Amino acid sequence: MRPSTIAIDGPAASGKSTIGYHLADCLGYLFLDTGVLYRAVTWVAQDRGIPVEAEDQITRLGEDVEIEVLPSAATDGRQNTVKVDGRDVTWEIRSPRVERDVSPVAAYPGVRHALTKRMREIACKGYVVMVGRDIGTVVIPDADLKLYVVASAGVRAQRRYMELREKGKDVSYEQVLAGIHQRDRIDSSRATAPLRAAADGITVDTTDLSVETMFAEVERLVNQYDAVKCEQGVRNESSRV
Ligand code: DC
């Protein structure tokens, strides 16, 4: 038996999306990087000139704006195609401007409530790999397999820096590292659904792992799923005694 719902959480640039996309591809599942929903709401707010402090207005956007997350058809490195009101914003939601405001937007309880509802509608159909910060703890706490992907801040900043340089962006490593620290702080300390590992999640530390080793490790965890479930069942049985 294979896990039907896989929840992957972790801080920015820990490798969680790379892992999630790979697993979804191997298993033939839907891949959803839920960060794009928070990014899309942030992008619309900026596009409409709504300041990031306007919590009520931004919450309404989270409830009403049409956001489509589609399997990627293009070959430009995207994992999903993201459309807002029919417009393709896949790359625009990755801009430094959106990056700057997305954590405060994602901290608004009303925005989280609205987007969590959308995520659950997708998750309940199964055969999905969902990636984010609170997927295993809040969005689908009954996910079949929960991974918590971590890496040192230095390594995460280096990865993000290389990605940005490859796209021709003029940023320094120090700027990227500062941004990573800032987002970690906001994502982990917010009152609603802060970033943390699920009690029954499996932590995967990718700091010293090559992409190949990382993939081999998570494939092993998926293949071991039956054994892990059995072991947890036995543990639950014994704790009931
Ligand atoms: O993973 P990302 O960098 O695209 O996420 C963008 C922001 O959204 C980041 O501040 C974390 C937040 N986020 C969240 O709070 N909960 C999720 N399930 C996914 C992302």
187 lines ligand 1 (CB under 6 A): yes
pLDDT given for residue 227 in this prediction: 57
Burial class of residue 130, CB neighbours in 10 A (0-12, 13-18, 19+):
buried
In-domain check, residue 234: no
Residues (pLDDT < 70) of the chain are: 226-241
- Predicted TM-score (pTM) of this structure: 0.89
Calpha distance 171→87 (Å, rounded): 28
Calpha distance 215→180 (Å, rounded): 24
The H-or-E segment that residue 83 falls in is strand 80-84
In-domain check, residue 228: no
pLDDT given for residue 228 in this prediction: 57
In-domain check, residue 217: no
105 lines ligand 1 (CB under 6 A): no
Q: Which atom of ligand 1 is nearest to the CA of 186?
A: 10
Calpha distance 104→33 (Å, rounded): 18
In-domain check, residue 230: no
**Number of other residues whose CB lies within 10 A of the CB of residue 28:** 7
In-domain check, residue 131: yes
In-domain check, residue 180: yes
6 neighbors 128 (Cβ within 8 angstroms) = yes
114 neighbors 62 (Cβ within 8 angstroms) = yes
The H-or-E segment that residue 30 falls in is strand 30-33
At which residue do the structure tokens 């914003």 appear? Answer: 89
Q: What is the CATH number of the domain that holds 83?
A: 3.40.50.300
pLDDT given for residue 52 in this prediction: 96
Number of independent structural domains in the chain: 1
Closest protein CA for atom 16 of ligand 1: 133
In-domain check, residue 159: yes
For residue 47, give its domain range: 5-212
Sign of CA dihedral 113, 118, 119, 123: positive
pLDDT given for residue 89 in this prediction: 96
In-domain check, residue 218: no
Ligand 1 centroid to Cα of residue 78, in Å, is 17
Token representation of residue 8: 């992957």
Candidates 38, 120, 129, 184: which one to mutate for ligand 1, based on the most atoms within 8 Å of Cβ? 38
Q: Which atom of ligand 1 is nearest to the CA of 36?
A: 4
Dihedral angle over CA of 154, 155, 160, 163, nearest 10: 140
For residue 107, give the 3-state DSSP assignment: coil
